[in-house]
Amino acid sequence: MNRYALGLGIGAVSLTALIVLSVLYGTTRIPVGDVLSAIATGLGLGGEPGPMDRIVFDLRLPRAVFSAVIGAGLGIVGVVLQTTTRNDLADPFLFGLSSGAAAGAVFVITVTGDVLGIWTLPLAAFSGGIVASLIVLTLVQSLRNAAPEKLILAGLAVSFLFAAITNYLIFSGDSRAAHSIVFWMLGGLGLARWQSLPLVLAGLALILAYATYRRRWLDALLAGDRTAKSLGVPVTRLRMTMFLMAALATAAFVSVAGVIGFVGLMVPHLARGLAGPLHTRLLPTAALIGAALLTASDILSRVILAPQELPVGIVTTSVGAIFVFALLIGGRKTAR
Amino acid sequence: MKQIWTAAILASLASAAAAEVTVDNCGTPLTFDATPERLIVHDMNMTEMAFALGLQDKIVGLTGITGWYKTSPTFDEARGDIPELAPKYPTVENLLAAEPDMFFAGWYYGMRPGGEVTPDTLEPFGIKTMVLTESCVHQHEGRPEASMNLLFDDVMRLGQVMGVEDKAKGLVDGWEAQLSAIEAKTSGVDQPRVFLLDGPADAPFTAGKFAIPDAMIDAAGGASVTSDLDTSWGRTSWEAVAAANPEFLVLLDYQTGNGAEDTFKFLQEHPVMSGIDAVKNEAWIGLRYEELTPGPANITAIEKMAKAMHPELF
């Protein structure tokens, strides 16, 4: 327990440091002193906020919080989905969620335009993701047993269907819209604002609370469906509810940050290596790693090409992949 | 000296009187309580509009210039030491750091629908966005087809907002006179079928009925073969273009490699396009990006096209 507590402590400290860095660095150079006074001003301790104050308090600070919250959320969603489907390759975007959300967003970009103002795109992406997940759930439910393979197969089918719809919309619409869509599908935290914070917080709270509440059942699932059933776990119902919760949380994240790849897929593996397979420890570890990974990636995405900004998905994928290479090589050595 | 002072006082009175200005912005009113003092402009074409109005002292930054194009010495001279805030699309942070009160850009001209920088995301920071009229079609249904008003109206709007309406009016009057002179020469003669091509591609990217080249080709005494294409800029097919058999080509010159020359070579080697009249007769002209997007360079570009299409008239 002590080593685990120490690990969590180190993780929390690194995450805090990353969040501080995320506020200090951006596409514009702002001296540290100005950043501190900007935060003071934002909290109502100073005078009228100037543009630099607003950059720090209304752009960078929410952005840092968003990257931590969304990273943590995606990490937990990944754990939950990998456990319930008993598939190491399960991730929030394998179940049609991302393609559904993308289709919703693309529909707004190419067909309707911002009819409902600033909330049009998030709303459309959210609905698209939920619709896709509901189709997956209905498909699986109409089968007699909701075996994990069926859930993945249904997810893949729905995913391809929505990808086809998206590509149709891109192709039939204005060609320049494609650029806008590519950017969105690679994810980015540029739209992080205080106003939309409740949405992503709700997503994180939902999946964190439910997964923590059902952590023993999730542990039981690790031993296989039959063992779990014999332990009194309603396996099918648990699988469906978990999937729905994961879908709601992911849709909330996607609606403001686009499709950020890799975090949900790889973070659970990293977390298992550190905390073991049981969920009491696994869930907080995955949340911390996810938060740190996404925050670090977001800092890099703003610094590499400054003053231009990279889509954060490019960074998470490459940073994550290198990390996994290192882990695989290191793991092989210790195994010998 | 006395006269200068009187003029200055009159000018300040005039600007005070005209303090509240409302202009159309993609069909919705955009109101300024005071003349913007700190302007950011995106892209070459819109920057050249602002330069034509002599707004350099109010421009605190440009975006989206060097990320894509080589600038001309004339442009660099007009630009002086105005900084570029982002070579391609800006972030909100890029813009906000320059403390602007107005941003002049368009959809896919610095802003993406649902993206980080839009009029809605800038509004909370006290930045008003003037949207390039040609680009309104991306967000609003029922826009009129392209005409040279896409240029004239935007220069007039910018002039009104920035308190230099007379200068804008003078520019537009001059351009209209230049265009009527061209029209006087080309009226009554056969209009060659014209095709505009962005560059070598598997499917041709061209200007449809909402993009300004459609109106420019018309003003130069030609007939665009893609004037029924229901988009501003979009893709059509080689088959459709070849079937229309264009007699004259407008090729976008991105000043990379050999520019438009490369595009023409591509067409000469293309199995279908090599057989059309324009390619066989080598009837084409290369025009730069800022000449084919709404901006002051449109007028000289129209003149160049007219001369190339109707050499006997000039």
Q: Which residue has the tokens 């934002």?
A: A42
Q: Is residue A136 within 8 Å of residue A155, measured between CB atoms?
A: yes
* Res. B303: pLDDT tops 80: yes
**Between B214 and A191, where is the model more confident?**
B214
Whether residue A51 and residue B96 make contact (CB cut-off 8 A), yes or no, is yes
Query: Does A308 lie at the interface with B, CB-CB under 8 angstroms?
Result: yes
Closest chain A C-alpha to B86 CA, distance in angstroms = 6
Angle of the A177-185 helix axis to the A148-172 helix axis, nearest 10: 150
* Nearest Cβ partner for B114 among A175, A184, A307: A184
Give the residue from A24, A29, A54 with the most B CB atoms within 10 Å of its CB, the best one to mutate: A54
Average pLDDT over residues B281-289: 94
Tell me B123's DSSP state.
G
* Res. A178: pLDDT tops 90: no
Q: How confident is the model at residue A174 (pLDDT cuts 50, 70, 90)?
A: low
Nearest partner of B40 among B153, B158, B167, B139, judged by Cα: B158
Whether residue B93 and residue A60 make contact (CB cut-off 8 A), yes or no, is yes
* Nearest Cβ partner for A117 among B87, B120, B235: B120
CB contact residues (below 8 A), chain B span 178-237, against chain A:
205, 231-235
Res B224: pLDDT: 95
Helix, strand or coil, per DSSP, at residue B70: coil
Query: Which residues in chain A touch residue B139, judged by CB atoms under 8 angstroms apart?
Result: 113-114
* Res. B16: pLDDT tops 60: no
* Nearest Cβ partner for B97 among A28, A114, A117: A28
* Res. A92: pLDDT tops 60: yes
**Between A95 and B131, where is the model more confident?**
B131
Q: Is residue B34 within 8 Å of residue B138, measured between CB atoms?
A: no
Whether residue B99 and residue A51 make contact (CB cut-off 8 A), yes or no, is yes
Q: What is the pLDDT of residues B241-260, one digit of tens each?
A: 988 999 999 999 877 777 88
Q: Is residue A60 within 8 Å of residue A23, measured between CB atoms?
A: yes
What's the token pair of residue A86?
């008993």
Q: How confident is the model at residue A173 (pLDDT cuts 50, 70, 90)?
A: low
Query: Does A185 lie at the interface with B, CB-CB under 8 angstroms?
Result: no
CB contact residues (below 8 A), chain A span 191-250, against chain B:
191
Query: Does A172 lie at the interface with B, CB-CB under 8 angstroms?
Result: no
Give the residue from B38, B65, B93 with the most A CB atoms within 10 Å of its CB, the best one to mutate: B93
Average pLDDT over residues B294-312: 95
* Res. A335: pLDDT tops 50: no
Whether residue B233 and residue A174 make contact (CB cut-off 8 A), yes or no, is yes
Query: Does B142 lie at the interface with A, CB-CB under 8 angstroms?
Result: no
Q: Which residue has the tokens 């955009």?
A: B30
* Res. A72: pLDDT tops 90: yes
Query: Which residues in chain A touch residue B98, judged by CB atoms under 8 angstroms apart?
Result: 51
CA distance A85 to A264: 14
Closest chain A C-alpha to B125 CA, distance in angstroms = 8
Helix, strand or coil, per DSSP, at residue B96: helix
What's the token pair of residue A251?
């849709």
Q: What is the pLDDT of residues A96-124, one digit of tens each?
A: 887 888 888 888 877 777 667 677 888 88
Which residues does residue B23 pair with via DSSP β-bridges, in sequence order?
B30
Average pLDDT over residues B13-27: 74
CA distance A318 to A302: 15
Average pLDDT over residues B13-33: 80
* Nearest Cβ partner for A309 among B85, B91, B114: B91
Query: Which residues in chain B touch residue A180, judged by CB atoms under 8 angstroms apart?
Result: 108, 112-115
Least confident of A23-27, A192-196, A270-274: A23-27
* Res. A1: pLDDT tops 70: no
What's the token pair of residue A95?
């179940």
CA distance B151 to A188: 34
**Between A314 and B47, where is the model more confident?**
B47
Query: Does A34 lie at the interface with B, CB-CB under 8 angstroms?
Result: no
Give the DSSP H/E element, type plus range, for residue B185.
helix B165-186
The rounded mean pLDDT for chain A is 85
The model's pTM: 0.80
Average pLDDT over residues A216-236: 90
Angle of the A97-107 helix axis to the A148-172 helix axis, nearest 10: 20
Average pLDDT over residues B47-69: 94
Query: Which residues in chain B touch residue A177, judged by CB atoms under 8 angstroms apart?
Result: 108, 113, 138
Radius of gyration of chain A, Cα coordinates, nearest whole angstrom? 20
CA distance A262 to A315: 10
Which residues does residue B29 pair with via DSSP β-bridges, in sequence order?
B24
Query: Which residues in chain A touch residue B201, judged by CB atoms under 8 angstroms apart?
Result: none
Whether residue A27 and residue B94 make contact (CB cut-off 8 A), yes or no, is yes
**At B180, which amino acid appears?**
S
